[in-house]
Amino acid sequence: MTSPPFRVWLALGAAATAAALALYAGALDGQFVSDDINHVPNNVHVQTLDVPHVLALLDPRGLPARATSNYAPVHLLVHALQYRLFGLATRGYHVTNVVLHALVSILLARFYLSAGMPRAGALLLGALFLVHPANVEAVAWIFQVKSLAALGLSLGAILLFPRRPFASAALFALALLAKISALYALPVAAALLWVRRAPAREWRALAPWIAVALACSIAEFPLFQRTGQAPSSFVILDPGVRLRSLVAIAGRYLAMAATGYGVSPTHEPPPAESPLDPWWLFGLAALVAIAARALVVFVRRDVEAVYWVWAGASWAPVSQVFAFIYPMADRYLYFVLPGLLGAAFCLVTSGARRLAPRLRVPERAALAGAAVAASVLAVAFAAHTSRQAHVWRSEAHLMHEAARRYPNGIGGVYLRARTRANAGDYAGAVAALDELARRGYAVFAAVNADPAFAPMRGSEEYQRVFRRIAWNWIRSTPLAPDAMPAELRAMGLAHWIVGDHGAAERFYRRAVAAGGADARAIQAEWDLLRRQQR
């Protein structure tokens, strides 16, 4: 299939950008939330773009990598550039994300076309990706610019491969240095060679890709081990329940990808305790069917195999085989969806061609019907995305949406505690916080800073629960030997709260001795705590 001229792609890009800006209008003035805070407003390395700070950003063992638990210098350099342009005005950051998402959608359509998909199908799938509600988190969350950049750069690398092996490898390296999830592109490139029955010289073009993949993985893995993986207290220990829960999450992802059902700022799916859990059964049936189909098309060297490899390679790192702290998130689908969309297109079109003779309708009519159904789905997705984008205006909106989706989850119970405290029902608030403590909630700093709980802080009941939450932090937060000053400070404060003042002093002394921009503030906090003790 001949690609349209550049001016056509330019017009499509402008249309996609305009559509995306309209869809995400509700999020464009959203505040910095969650991880945004430590990546932009509180990140001196992003805000001071001189030679020492740039070198620190490029250092895989430097303070910025350890602070963010990822070696992603391209991600932080993008934020540094944004800070030069926008300061702390969030609209510029949000517009950047939306424009990048539109560009990724166009590159994705270009890839589908290069893989042999008809123009109408390639454009329709690009549009579905553009408007899919599961992508809202990746687009509306400022710090997720790393996902957008990584997918865009890796798509560029795949489109250049294997004609320009070193240029494509350079783009692949940049994608990995934005987000390690771009590793999916390596098996996708190999799958493309497989289905095209490529000669040996094209397979040799994978060598620089493999080299950069190994180098970036070696830099990233120790950081994941350090703080990214889930503490043992967060991992389901029963192997049967753990396996069922992982497969159930896969089922939830597939339902979200197909329908948009279940998107949420945070996810807290309950473990699949029963062998009859419906999500586990659905996930198991779906994964078995996908594996069987993928094997058949892979052996046949059908292009559909490329899409299943894409989906599988993107899902594997977030499948929780290696557990990390947040087992499910909308943003994890950002890399998986392109593969699922391509595979679904192949399944639907082949099914329509087989069914047309049985239904005694022209094949063209069957395919047109499938296109109409997909267009209706795109309209529904767009409406859902527009609604979901409004959720990303503030932390409060995110909390309320998470509580609505999971009323008995951590977010729902925390919101219940705040609501009761604001209503003067302090006993009810303490009971809700106590439930959080029993379930392992450990973010004592958030509770301590929340103004809703200020009137309760003098009561012994509140202090008892607060100490339990601080103890959860101590128990679930292992510190590396090269722990950062902020980590040492938090651990010192947690020990102070539970009454272990000797351990608190040791952690505070280590934090001050580590130096850094916060050393003076940490010393002042420690002096204040000791004066209060007297």
The length of the chain, given as a count of residues: 534
Residue 116 has φ and ψ, to the nearest 5°, of 105, 5
Q: For residues 442-471, give the mean pLDDT.
A: 93
**DSSP code of residue 319:** S
Q: Is residue 403, in this structure, part of any structural domain at all?
A: no
More confident site: 23 or 479? 23
Q: Would 81 be classed as within a structural domain?
A: yes
Given a contact cutoff of 8 angstroms between Cβ atoms, the answer to whether 228 and 70 are in contact is yes
Looking at per-residue pLDDT, the higher value among 353 and 16 belongs to 16
User: Alpha-carbon distance 212 to 34, whole Å?
Assistant: 31
Tell me what pLDDT residue 517 has. 67
Domain identity same for 173 and 66: yes
- Quick one: 246 and 107 in the same domain? yes
Q: What is the DSSP letter of 322?
A: S
In the listed set 373, 393, 413, which residue is the last one of a domain according to the structure?
Answer: 393
Residues 490 and 364 in one domain: no
Residue 235's pLDDT is: 58
**How far is residue 301's CA from residue 310's CA, in Å, rounded to a whole number?**
15
- Between residues 88 and 56, the one the model is more confident about: 88
435: phi then psi, degrees, rounded to nearest 5 = -65, -40
Please say whether the beta carbons of 35 and 143 come within 8 A.
yes
Q: Same domain, yes or no, for 141 and 241?
A: yes
Claim to verify: residue 486 and residue 352 sit in the same structural domain? no
Instruction: Output the CA torsion 261→264→268→270 (10° steps).
Output: -10
Contact of 257 with 310, CB cutoff 8 Å: no
Number of Cα atoms under 13 Å in the Cβ half of residue 215: 13
> Cβ atoms within 10 A of the Cβ of 511, count?
27
Residue identified by tokens 């890009």 is 13
Phi, psi at 176, each rounded to 5°: -65, -35
Q: Which two tokens stand for residue 374?
A: 């997909």
Span 263-278, pLDDT tens digits:
999 998 989 999 999 9
Q: Are residues 363 and 497 in the same domain?
A: no
Sign of CA dihedral 459, 448, 481, 517: negative
325-328 long-range contacts, CB within 8 A, separation 24+? 325/228, 325/229, 325/230, 325/231, 325/234, 326/266, 326/267, 327/230, 327/249, 327/267, 327/269, 328/249, 328/252, 328/253, 328/267, 328/269
- Residue 225: predicted pLDDT: 59
Percent of the chain scoring above 70 in pLDDT: 96
Nearest to 190 by CA among 214, 215, 207: 207
**Mean of pLDDT over the chain:** 91
Establish if 532 belongs to a structural domain.
Answer: yes
Q: Write the pLDDT tens digit of every residue in 279-290.
A: 999 999 999 999
Q: How confident is the model at residue 233 (pLDDT cuts 50, 70, 90)?
A: very low
**354, 499: one domain:** no
Judge whether 169 lies within some domain.
yes
pLDDT tens for each residue of 27-67: 999 999 988 988 899 888 888 888 888 888 888 888 888 77
| Number of other residues whose CB lies within 10 A of the CB of residue 517 | 12
Considering only CA atoms, give the Rg of the chain: 25
- Entry pTM: 0.91
- Out of 344, 375, 393, a domain closes at 393
The runs of H, that is alpha helices, within 423-518 are: 426-438, 444-449, 460-476, 485-498, 501-513
pLDDT in tens, 68-79: 778 999 999 999
pLDDT reported for residue 236: 62
Q: Does 213 fall in a domain?
A: yes
How does pLDDT run across 5-38, given as a tens digit for each residue?
Answer: 889 999 999 999 999 999 999 999 999 998 898 8
Do 248 and 144 lie in a common domain?
Answer: yes
Based on the domain organization, do 387 and 485 belong to the same domain? no
Contact 82, 93 (CB under 8 A): yes
As to burial, measured by CB atoms within 10 angstroms (0-12 exposed, 13-18 middle, 19+ buried), residue 197 is exposed
> Does 67 reside within a domain?
yes
Structural domain boundaries enclosing 171: 6-393
Tokens of 79: 């934020």
Last residue of a domain, one of 393, 409, 432: 393
Predicted local distance difference test score (pLDDT) of residue 480: 74
Per-residue pLDDT for 229 more than 60?
A: no
Q: Average pLDDT, stretch 446-459?
A: 92
What is the C-alpha separation between 264 and 284, in angstroms, rounded? 23
Domain count within the chain:
2
Residue 324: pLDDT above 90?
no
What is the reported pLDDT for 129?
Answer: 98
- Assigned token pair, 240: 């049967």
Mean pLDDT in residue range 359-371: 84
Which SS3 state, helix, strand or coil, does residue 437 take? helix
Whether residues 17 and 135 share a domain: the answer is yes
Pick the more confident residue, 489 or 4.
489
Given a cut of 90, whether residue 2 has pLDDT beyond it is no
Residue 322 in this model has a pLDDT that exceeds 80: no
Peptide bond into 162 cis (omega under 30): yes
Q: Name the nearest CA neighbour of 177 among 314, 81, 59, 52.
A: 59
Q: Is the pLDDT of residue 232 over 60?
A: no
Position 289 scores a pLDDT of 97
Q: Does the residue 358 lie in any domain? A: yes
* CA–CA separation, 210 and 212 (whole Å): 6
Q: Looking at the predicted structure, is the pLDDT value of residue 510 above 60?
A: yes
Specify the DSSP class assigned to residue 14: H
